[in-house]
Chains A and B, each alone.
Chain A
Amino acid sequence: MEQVDHIPRPAIIESIRPETPTEKTFALRFTDGDPFNFQAGQFCMLSVLGRGEAPFCIASSPAQTDAIQVTVRSYPEGEVTSALHELTKGDYVGIRGPMGNGFPLQDFVGRDILVVAGGIGLPAVQASLLYLLEHRSDYRNVTLLYGARTPSDRVYKDDLAEWEQSPDILCKQTVDMKGDDDSWEGPVGLITTLFEALEIDGSQTSVIIVGPAVMYPFVVAECRQKGIADENMYFSLERHMKCGVGKCGHCTIGDKYVCLDGPVFTYSEMQQMKGE
């Protein structure tokens, strides 16, 4: 019988990379020697002992099993996100997981993949992007559309710069506004503007969409416009969570537990959800 492990596994912070003024990426190495096997799109519960535990998406490649990366935005009201931002290299954290269903990337083999990420949504699709690039020959066209509020709000700037030059992936970025960054030479406009020049075969495309909820209806409309069916649109949803295993009751939407039945749902499934 599958059991809940309430006790987190210890991991040490190997490095901390600032992404933006409010976001940091932590590389966490497990110290117990056991592999951590997960699928792209699954999440983990991250602990700072004494401060608490919260869910974060795993933003490193599933091929790496001795360490993971997570990107954390610090919120003033977020006890755990604040605590994580106070930690330094060499500090310990606790990890439970992996949890949730992940993106069904094996089911996408032979298809075109469109990834649409907004702001801090990129870390939630990063493991998928890395997996797709590592298994590049299994897929047809791979496209990433990334939108952020301003150029300096973008995470993973080095990866994005590399992907813009890569023949393996079509990477397009936009920002809502230039802000105080005069060096930005890319387009300015909402993420939906990136769809205009996009040439895709909607019937052959599976799309992964993660970003702020306000973005979703507009992206869905663009995807439908391109002929992508609702059941081929995959979202990763976020909710307040305490257990990650379908018991504590915080993450329910309708009759679904985001932690157990999700966090990945198709748009068809989301339309069936009863209630907020």
Chain B
Amino acid sequence: MNNVARFVLPAPRLSEALEALLELPDQVVAPVRAARGDVHFEPVESADQIQTDFGNTLVSPIEYLLPSQEVMFEYRLGPQGQPELTAPAPPPDRIIFGLRPCDVAAIEYADHFYVEREPADTLYAARRQATTLIALACAEPANETCFCSCCEGGGPVSESGFDVQLTPLGDQYLVEVGTEKGQRIAQQWQSLLKPAADELLEVREAQTRQVMEQQLETKSNLAAAIRRITAEQVNPEIWEAIGHDCYSCGGCSYLCPVCTCYDVVDVEYDDTSGARIRRTDSCRLAGFVREATGHIPRATAASRARWYAYHKLSYDYHEQYGRYGCVGCGRCVITCLGQIDMPAVCARVRQSETEAAS
């Protein structure tokens, strides 16, 4: 990201900055603590709802760009059955505050997948266009399950993809403004921001390195897995064993902010009207590839585990998408019942390499 303007926001003045955001006409979505303590991204009305002291949310804020379910169009049938189709209303202007860098990376991936890689998806593109991203970088790993710095373009601090990024550095935030959308936010915060001294970048660099050093083991495993999966050098028994441990629940892919696959179904409101909707789908489910004949090309959990890893980690797909399909958010680690999350699979694939080599 070129021409990033850097400022400092004193930590005690963050609430004023958030109030200033709420003065804008955009809907503001931010981390909110629910009754039982979980934090979710939700539309907010007042600054005191907004949480900054949280790990990361279980559901990625990419949900506001890729909803788990959305209407593609609605239809109404005329007296002769002639259809009248209506596209969904344009999306609202929206600011998402508090995204972690892993989720910013996931949105960069989706931008490439849905828009830059033609044909462009109009529904995603319109929502993305209307959205401003204010990232909140991590001073320490957000959760113990994080492995962002193992992933290409990942880490506790975003290098690109944000409009504005706040990095907590002790009693102040480093505020980076990367885009025109970001400049609008900076303007709104004009009275709160001071110019940033260059030394601050060094302070942040040291802080970031500390986080990254905690994740070295997984980094090596991921690199080895990428190599072996691309070269098809993984012993089929590894996939059999991973498939054996897979509950085929789809949890990993439903929570993965990089997973983009969707199902399309029609719903009938009544005899003469209805809608076509798309909703998140999972390649970990057998029905994902089931054909009308009943044939299921990837019928075993092992073949689906292999496919999932291949799609995310092979260089073949890197060539198409420009990056690997994992941002290290760790949500699969949290949700997987079979302990075959991304770091675990990479470790098992790497272990098989070590055994083969010795």
With beta carbons under 8 angstroms apart, the residue of A8, A47, A90, A247 that contacts B262 is A247
**Would you call B119 and A255 a contact (CB within 8 A)?**
no
Give the shortest distance, in Å, between B334 (CB) and chain A (any CB). 23
Distance between Cα atoms of A248 and B83 in the complex (Å): 25
Q: Does A239 contact B (CB under 8 A)?
A: yes
With beta carbons under 8 angstroms apart, the residue of A53, A248, A249 that contacts B276 is A53
Size of the chain A interface, CB-CB below 8 angstroms: 44
Q: Which of A57-65, A73-81, A147-155, A156-164 contacts B (4 or more CB under 8 A)?
A: A73-81
Chain B contacts of A249 at CB under 8 A?
A: 260-262, 281, 283
Q: Which of the listed residues B278, B290, B292, B316 has the most CB atoms from chain A within 10 Å of its own CB?
A: B292
Q: Which of B72-80, B199-207, B343-351 contacts A (4 or more CB under 8 A)?
A: B72-80
Q: A2-B120, A248-B262 are in contact. Are A240 and B290 (CB under 8 A)?
A: yes
Q: Does A197 contact B (CB under 8 A)?
A: no
Q: A1-B120, A49-B77, A242-B262 are in contact. Are A8 and B85 (CB under 8 A)?
A: yes
**Would you call B83 and A94 a contact (CB within 8 A)?**
yes
Chain B contacts of A2 at CB under 8 A?
A: 118-120
Q: Does B263 contact A (CB under 8 A)?
A: yes
**Would you call B281 and A248 a contact (CB within 8 A)?**
yes
Q: Which of B26-34, B146-154, B293-301 contacts A (4 or more CB under 8 A)?
A: B293-301
Chain B: which residue is nearest A243 at the CB level?
B264
With beta carbons under 8 angstroms apart, the residue of A52, A245, A250, A254 that contacts B288 is A250
Give the shortest distance, in Å, between B131 (CB) and chain A (any CB). 19
**Would you call A276 and B298 a contact (CB within 8 A)?**
yes
**Would you call B263 and A248 a contact (CB within 8 A)?**
yes
Q: Does A224 contact B (CB under 8 A)?
A: no
Chain B 307-319 per-residue mask, 1 if CB under 8 angstroms from chain A, else 0 = 1001100101101
**Would you call A4 and B122 a contact (CB within 8 A)?**
yes
Q: Does A252 contact B (CB under 8 A)?
A: yes
Q: Does B171 contact A (CB under 8 A)?
A: no
Q: Which of A1-56 touch B at CB < 8 Å?
A: 1-8, 10, 31, 47, 49-54
Distance between Cα atoms of A254 and B77 in the complex (Å): 41
Chain B contacts of A4 at CB under 8 A?
A: 119-122
Chain B contacts of A49 at CB under 8 A?
A: 75, 77, 83, 266, 274, 276
**Would you call B123 and A6 a contact (CB within 8 A)?**
yes
Chain A: which residue is nearest B122 at the CB level?
A3
Chain A: which residue is nearest B306 at the CB level?
A275
Q: Does B303 contact A (CB under 8 A)?
A: yes
Q: Does A112 contact B (CB under 8 A)?
A: no
Chain A contacts of B87 at CB under 8 A?
A: 6-7
Q: Does B268 contact A (CB under 8 A)?
A: yes
Q: Which of the listed residues A3, A47, A50, A92 has the most CB atoms from chain B within 10 Å of its own CB?
A: A50
Q: Does B18 contact A (CB under 8 A)?
A: no
Q: A75-B292, A240-B290 are in contact. Are A248 and B266 (CB under 8 A)?
A: no
Give the shortest distance, in Å, between A6 (CB) and chain B (any CB). 4
Q: Which of the listed residues A6, A245, A274, A276 has the most CB atoms from chain B within 10 Å of its own CB?
A: A6
Q: Does A201 contact B (CB under 8 A)?
A: no
Q: Does A66 contact B (CB under 8 A)?
A: no
**Would you call B77 and A52 a contact (CB within 8 A)?**
no
Chain A: which residue is nearest B318 at the CB level?
A255
Q: Which of the listed residues A49, A240, A242, A254 has the most CB atoms from chain B within 10 Å of its own CB?
A: A49
Chain B contacts of A50 at CB under 8 A?
A: 75, 266-268, 274
Q: Does B237 contact A (CB under 8 A)?
A: no
Q: Does B81 contact A (CB under 8 A)?
A: yes
**Would you call B85 and A7 a contact (CB within 8 A)?**
yes
**Would you call A52 and B297 a contact (CB within 8 A)?**
no
**Would you call B261 and A248 a contact (CB within 8 A)?**
yes
Chain A: which residue is nearest B88 at the CB level?
A6
**Would you call A247 and B114 a contact (CB within 8 A)?**
yes
Q: Does B46 contact A (CB under 8 A)?
A: no
Distance between Cα atoms of A246 and B118 in the complex (Å): 9
Chain A contacts of B320 at CB under 8 A?
A: 255
Chain A: which residue is nearest B87 at the CB level?
A7
**Would you call B264 and A91 a contact (CB within 8 A)?**
no
Q: Does A238 contact B (CB under 8 A)?
A: yes
Q: Which of the listed residues A7, A81, A94 has the most CB atoms from chain B within 10 Å of its own CB?
A: A7
Chain B contacts of A248 at CB under 8 A?
A: 261-264, 278, 281
Chain B contacts of A51 at CB under 8 A?
A: 266
Chain A: which residue is nearest B261 at the CB level?
A249
Q: Does B82 contact A (CB under 8 A)?
A: yes
Given contacts A240-B292, A248-B278, A274-B232, 19 further A-B contacts (CB under 8 A): A3-B118, A3-B119, A4-B121, A6-B72, A6-B87, A47-B276, A49-B274, A53-B266, A75-B292, A77-B293, A92-B81, A239-B291, A240-B288, A240-B289, A240-B291, A248-B264, A274-B316, A275-B306, A275-B310
> Chain A residues in contact with chain B, CB under 8 A?
1-8, 10, 31, 47, 49-54, 75, 77-78, 80-81, 90-92, 94, 238-240, 242-243, 245-250, 252-255, 274-276
The 11 listed contacts between A and B (C-beta, < 8 Å) are A8-B85, A49-B266, A52-B264, A81-B292, A242-B278, A243-B262, A247-B114, A248-B278, A252-B307, A275-B306, A276-B297
User: Can you list the 10 inter-chain pairs with the closest CB atoms, starting with the nearest?
Assistant: A249-B261, A78-B292, A255-B316, A2-B118, A2-B119, A75-B292, A242-B264, A6-B72, A50-B268, A4-B119
